[in-house]
Amino acid sequence: MEYQITIEGGATFSVAAEEDTLLRGALRAGVALPHECSVGGCGACRFDVVDGPMESIWPEAPGLSERDRKRGKHLACQSRPLGDCTIRVRCDEAYRPAIRPERWPAELLARRALTHDMSEFTFQVPATAEFRPGQYALLYPPHTPGARAYSMANLPNGDGIWKFVIRRVPGGTGSNALFDQVRIGQRVTLDGPYGHAYLRDGTARDIVCIAGGSGLAPMLSVARGALARANPGRIHFFYGARTQADLGATAALEELAEDERLALSVVLSAPEATPAWRGPTGFVHAELERVLAQSLDRFDFYFAGPPPMIEAVQELLMHKHQVPFGQIHFDRFV
Ligand SMILES: Cc1cc2nc3c(=O)[nH]c(=O)nc-3n(C[C@H](O)[C@H](O)[C@H](O)COP(=O)(O)OP(=O)(O)OC[C@H]3O[C@@H](n4cnc5c(N)ncnc54)[C@H](O)[C@@H]3O)c2cc1C
Ligand code: FES
Burial 14-51 (b: 16+ CB within 10 A, else e): ebeeebbbbbbbbbbbebbbbbbbbbbbbbbbbbebee
Q: Domain 206-332, what fold?
A: Rossmann fold (3.40.50)
Give the separation between CA 79 and CA 22, rounded to whole angstroms.
6
Q: Give the number of whichever ligand sits closest to the CA of residue 58.
A: 1
Question: Pocket of ligand 2, candidates 58, 75, 87: which has the most ligand atoms within 8 Å of its Cβ, to mutate?
Answer: 75
Least Cα distance to 268 among 256, 282, 289 occurs for 282
Question: Given this model, what pLDDT does residue 245 score?
Answer: 84
Encode pLDDT of 3-33 as tens digits. 999 999 988 999 998 878 999 999 999 999 9
Q: Ligand 1, atom 21: nearest CA belongs to which residue?
A: 175
Q: Give the number of whichever ligand sits closest to the CA of residue 171.
A: 1
Encode pLDDT of 81-101 as tens digits. 999 999 999 999 999 999 999
The answer to whether residue 294 scores a pLDDT higher than 80 is: no
Least Cα distance to 312 among 330, 292, 294, 291 occurs for 330
Give the separation between CA 287 and CA 290, rounded to whole angstroms.
5
Encode pLDDT of 56-67 as tens digits. 999 999 999 999
Q: Give the number of whichever ligand sits closest to the CA of residue 220.
A: 1
Question: Pocket of ligand 2, candidates 21, 27, 31, 35: which has the most ligand atoms within 8 Å of its Cβ, to mutate?
Answer: 35
Out of 3.30.1370.10, 3.10.20.30, 3.50.50.60, 2.40.110.10, the CATH code matching 2-95 is 3.10.20.30
| 268 in contact with ligand 2, CB cutoff 6 A | no
Give the separation between CA 244 and CA 115, rounded to whole angstroms.
10
Mean of pLDDT values over 148-159: 97
Question: Pocket of ligand 1, candidates 20, 23, 39: which has the most ligand atoms within 8 Å of its Cβ, to mutate?
Answer: 39
Neighbour tally for 251: CB within 10 Å = 9
Domains 102-194 and 206-332 share a fold: no
Give the separation between CA 95 and CA 69, rounded to whole angstroms.
24
Percent of the chain exceeding pLDDT 70 equals 100
The answer to whether residue 220 scores a pLDDT higher than 90 is: yes
Mean of pLDDT values over 176-205: 94
Mean of pLDDT values over 303-318: 94
| 333 in contact with ligand 1, CB cutoff 6 A | yes
Residue range 102-194 forms a domain whose CATH class is: mainly beta
Encode pLDDT of 70-83 as tens digits. 999 999 999 999 99
Domain boundaries, the chain: 2-95, 102-194, 206-332
Looking from the CA of residue 144, the nearest atom of ligand 1 is 25
